[in-house]
Amino acid sequence: MNALQRHDHALLEAECRQLIGIDEAGRGALAGPVMAGACVISKAIFSNVGFLERCQAINDSKQLSAEAREAQYTILVELRKAGQLDFEVAAASVQEIETLNILGATRLAMRRAVEALAERAPSGELPLLAANGPLFQAGAAIKLIVDGRPLRPFPYVHEGIVKGDGKSLAIAMASIAAKVTRDRAMSEFALRYPAYGFARHKGYGTAAHRSAIKQSGATPIHRALFLRKLLAK
């Protein structure tokens, strides 16, 4: 096992039966939605040598090239089809970012991703939607881990792991799923708004992107709150 696999195997051996890793993509961008990935793995997969070998190259999505991320995402899809894990990516729109601010929208995307996993899980396997109060203690069977610091507020009890996408296999998988899905969406926006270079910078504030905004103005997918200082100059 590599370090990411050992981390999650230890949690599953000591604390829970299933582990859900959560991470976001696009929080710091000037344009486009923020997306969150959630990946659920179970103790049983760590006795599968083939699974462990296929996941050797899984890492923090920021440490991988675009080509490597796409290759790892293909592996995630194949493992999902084989029933060895499940993952989901959900978004919060630019309008929701404007309404909730970026942190609120990120939490919303994360909640949507986790609840989508729960909705399609076999009956009783991920009982997250049974919560009646503002917080739901998942209990010993399920543990939620999030890249970064704990979310405040968030409807499900969880643990924050700083730089978790480089420490946890489940978080790294969620990171790859979120990043690849968002990059693909931004490449689609590039076809609609060809003057901005979204396929290259994916909405982040590069010099070329800032120059395009100043020259051509903002598009409907730009985050107005993020552009105030830039456009005031």
Neighbouring C-beta atoms of residue 44, cutoff 10 Å: 12
Q: Which residue has the tokens 């704990």?
A: 150
CA 125/CA 128 separation, integer angstroms? 9
What's the mean pLDDT in 4-20?
90
What residues contact residue 53 under an 8 Å CB cut-off, 6+ apart? Answer: none
Mean pLDDT computed over every residue of the chain: 89
Q: Is the pLDDT of residue 224 over 60?
A: yes
What's the mean pLDDT in 94-109?
96
Neighbouring C-beta atoms of residue 135, cutoff 10 Å: 11
134 band by pLDDT with thresholds 50, 70 and 90? very low
> Does residue 162 contact residue 149 with C-beta atoms inside 8 Å?
yes
27 band by pLDDT with thresholds 50, 70 and 90? very high
137 band by pLDDT with thresholds 50, 70 and 90? low
133 band by pLDDT with thresholds 50, 70 and 90? very low
Comparing 15-29, 62-76, 121-135, which segment has the lowest mean pLDDT?
Answer: 121-135
CA-to-CA dists, residue 80 to 17, 58, 168, 173, 180, angstroms: 18, 15, 18, 12, 16
